Chains A and B, each alone.
Chain A
């Protein structure tokens, strides 16, 4: 168990990186608290797997240091870092039984047989696999195989962090939620730090206490699921999390207020918008917009029924705005006016949220 610190980490897969675009990880300064459940969320190619491999020691960073508590482990190989990793595809040792698979990491470390047996049975119990300990691992269904590869991480009592690299990719949809809740339960029981890499927002938001959103080799926001939802620090987070994503509308800022299509919109941070920004936008989630008597004039073009809510697509000039209407709320046809919740509407300068004060 340990706190993990990433100290000014940069990484490039090229031997002589020139500009920032050559870096898979541009600049990372992060701290993972002991026992936390973290999700690393981002689109494919954003550098999240690279980051994971740097923590596990499979990749050495080009620059920077990794500390486990206060010990520098930057150049230690994976087996000396006391970490565990679960991969996209279940990695199991085909020729061994379930029992031997679970015992393998302990036996490699010379743990005595009595303790191995106790640990294997304890973990099998947790994973609900006690009745299949004697079975050949190769014959298991894929979700059991993935549980088994998690088990090989859990079985060691010296594990600092368990990392999951999109572990539900090959699992059937109806088993995904089962494994996900199992994972959450395991986190409560073993209290090891867990880092869960995914590009699926549902997985990230349901698993993690803290979500780290990455884009193009950079961390754009770290926060609880609620924070990511209510105050995205970057328009990318607004787009990426939520369905449909946040509306991002071009705006002007003058006299301390934001104007969209010439209409004044109350938005947090409008008074602090930097004057030198190339691009000013307001961001508001479809959930925080309602139809009103007065406000932003739009034309409703389409309504999509998503079951428990409906999404109205509206047009204002060139901009398109999604409005989410709960059950029972009326959606006007044709020309209408929209009101934005001023507490949940933010101003973004060059993509980044303008903070008040």
Chain B
């Protein structure tokens, strides 16, 4: 083992990054922590409130409902996007000019700003003038996403699937194309059927990229804000009010800083915990 003498000068060069991280992450986070444990009646006067806000939030039916909706939304879009992305990746061509065509087409939805996606789908789904809304009603379906919770949910999920399945497909495709031909040849010689090839070669080889895909999609969908806000604004009623939308309502609509701060921290911890658990479970067999 070679030990190098400490170079104190090195710390000087790291300082700008430390400051940057402190101002854009640590200080705001600490402010939130600060709010979460105090009560204020204005005039910048704060009183210690202990874990009171946390107890309130954890007991609040409104929070339970928003968390339930959030879990339902994330669960549904994961259940659709992951298998669908894998299927798309499996059917994409492996070589030739069509590879580029497919890749560009797949990447397009990912390049559109989130608020634009929300606006597009909002107009698309309007029952009187939107292409989707109008067509569905013309076909005889009773569809109105501004009044029916079910319609709103279906539109919300369709929008997220349209926007993000490409990401899963591209990641899965990258995983698939990195499998050497020898694996397929060996499987052919071993007499493996297509399902066995998928189950024992393709799926295991895609495991790492799919872990990343699921993590990204979990985090993004769990914190999604812009698109549902623009599409439905959380309505009709509270039917599509996801956690982030509810949080903004409490913090900026009602200006209840304490509960909002406590809720932010709980929200953050849930995201962190689920991500950590999932990643640990998925990588427990990987040897370094």
A interface with B by C-beta (< 8 Å): 56, 58, 77-79, 83-85, 87-89, 91, 93-96, 104-105, 108-109, 136, 138-139, 149, 152-153
- 8 A–B pairs (Cβ distance < 8 Å), ordered by A: A58-B188, A78-B185, A85-B189, A88-B182, A94-B204, A96-B200, A104-B190, A149-B186
Question: Quick check: A79 and B188 within 8 Å, CB to CB?
Answer: yes
B interface with A by C-beta (< 8 Å): 180, 182-183, 185-186, 188-193, 196, 200-201, 204-205, 285, 287
Chain A interface, >50% SS class: mixed
Question: Quick check: B200 and A93 within 8 Å, CB to CB?
Answer: yes
Give the docked Cα–Cα distance between A308 and B193 (Å): 55
- Name the contact of B185 in the complex, choosing from A85, A93, A108 (C-beta under 8 A): A85
Given known contacts A88-B182, A89-B182, is B204 in contact with A95 (CB within 8 Å)? yes
Chain B interface, >50% SS class: helix
Give the docked Cα–Cα distance between A252 and B225 (Å): 89
Give the docked Cα–Cα distance between A123 and B92 (Å): 39
Give the docked Cα–Cα distance between A78 and B193 (Å): 13
Give the docked Cα–Cα distance between A138 and B286 (Å): 9
Question: Quick check: A89 and B185 within 8 Å, CB to CB?
Answer: no
Residues of B within 8 A of A138 (CB): 285, 287
Given known contacts A93-B204, A138-B287, is B185 in contact with A77 (CB within 8 Å)? no
Question: Quick check: A79 and B189 within 8 Å, CB to CB?
Answer: yes
Residues of A within 8 A of B180 (CB): 89
Closest to B183 in A: A91
Residues of A within 8 A of B205 (CB): 94
- Least CB distance from A80 to B in Å reads 9
Closest to A93 in B: B200
Question: Quick check: A56 and B285 within 8 Å, CB to CB?
Answer: no
- Least CB distance from A88 to B in Å reads 7
Give the docked Cα–Cα distance between A94 and B180 (Å): 14
Given contacts A79-B190, A89-B180, A104-B200, 17 further A-B contacts (CB under 8 A): A56-B185, A58-B188, A83-B189, A87-B182, A87-B185, A88-B182, A93-B204, A95-B200, A95-B204, A96-B200, A104-B192, A109-B191, A136-B285, A138-B285, A149-B186, A152-B190, A153-B189
